[in-house]
Amino acid sequence: MSEVNASMGRIVATPTAGSCGILPGVLVSAQERYGFTDETATMALFAAGAIGYVIANNSFVSGAEGGCQAEIGSAIAMAAGAMVELRGGTPAQAAHAVGLALKNTLGLICDPVGGLVEIPCIVRNGFGAVTALAAADMALAGVRSVIPSDEVIQVMLEVGSAMPEAHRETAKGGLAQTPTGKKILQQIKGRAD
Amino acid sequence: MRFRTMADMVTVCAQEGIGIGELMLQDQCAESGKPRETEFAKMAAYYTVMKEAVRRGTTEDTTSRSGFSGGDARRVLARLETGDTCLGADSAGGWRMRSA
């Protein structure tokens, strides 16, 4: 899904284009596995939307504002909560899944090589899908997020607000400024000239 | 919207005896003023786009314009199909997009 995004294909931002691979990766593979209908998957999208709505209203969902934790982290939380509901968990369990998932991405910086939504965004989407499934399973197993999800969302806001500009989608730091990251940027620039 | 926080969401769901998805659908309709069928159809269309993108990503050439990405989903899928992944053989169970 994220590769389709990078190759200019049609995608749905969930919550952003940079994090568009997680929710579909989780839901489409789960549909293949469990054989539920498109209607069931659509209801799961509404559930994910509700979670994204809460996060967006209380924190942020873009890398430029809050780092990758806000994009990939939010997407994982949305997918984890939706998956819990899909698998018969309660709304309270879904909320725990959101807390568990978000805690695991706190502090994640946004550092796209060459400013493109490719490296490391694509693999972070892949990892994100796996993390969402693990968080859903933990919550369904009865594991609780001791720090309530609403409080974790506030921590994401706190950490994102304190994050240096270099680590908020500007490509001025992180992986984007590694020797290899800079080399890739030069190659892209050279081709454009 | 009848909720602004996760705690509100859980409370309203419990009061109404509904799930999170149903809550969102109801509140979305209340906010947009559009019928349930319209809002549902819109979301269902998004899911169709998602499924198509997953199919493309796992079956077609996804080399990006920069040339620095593409093809990884197919690589991972090929390994899943060997049934010998570190995540467990069953992790391949959900992936039949290639033949679909």
Binary contact (B49, A11; C-beta < 8 A): yes
Q: Do A116 and B5 touch (CB under 8 A)?
A: no
Chain B contacts of A36, Cβ < 8 Å? none
Which chain A residue is nearest to residue B21, measuring alpha carbons?
A47
Tens of pLDDT along B14-57? 999 999 999 999 999 999 999 999 999 999 999 999 999 999 99
Band (pLDDT 50/70/90 cuts) for residue B95 is: low
Model confidence pLDDT, tens digit, residues A159-192: 999 999 999 999 999 999 999 999 999 999 888 7
Which among A5, A8, A10, A29 is the top mutation candidate for probing chain B, defined by the most B β-carbons within 10 Å of its own β-carbon?
A: A29
The answer to whether B29 contacts chain A (CB < 8 Å) is no
Indicate the pTM of the whole model.
0.96
Cα separations in angstroms, A103 against A56, A152, B68: 16, 6, 31
**Cis? peptide before A120, omega within 30° of 0:** yes
Percent of chain A's residues with pLDDT above 90: 97
Q: Which of B51, B75, B50 is CA-nearest to residue B61?
A: B75
Q: Could you read off the pLDDT of B56-77 as tens digits, one per residue?
A: 999 999 999 999 999 999 999 9
CB contact set of A15 (below 8 Å; sequence gap of 6+): A52, A55, A56, A61, A71, A74, A75, A78
For chain A, the domains span 2-192
3-state helix, strand, coil in chain A (%, to 5): 70, 0, 30
Residue A148, preceding bond cis, omega within 30 degrees? Answer: no
Q: Please measure the distance between the N-terminal and C-terminal CA atoms of chain A and give it in whole angstroms.
A: 30
* CB-based contact B21:A53 (threshold 8 Å): no
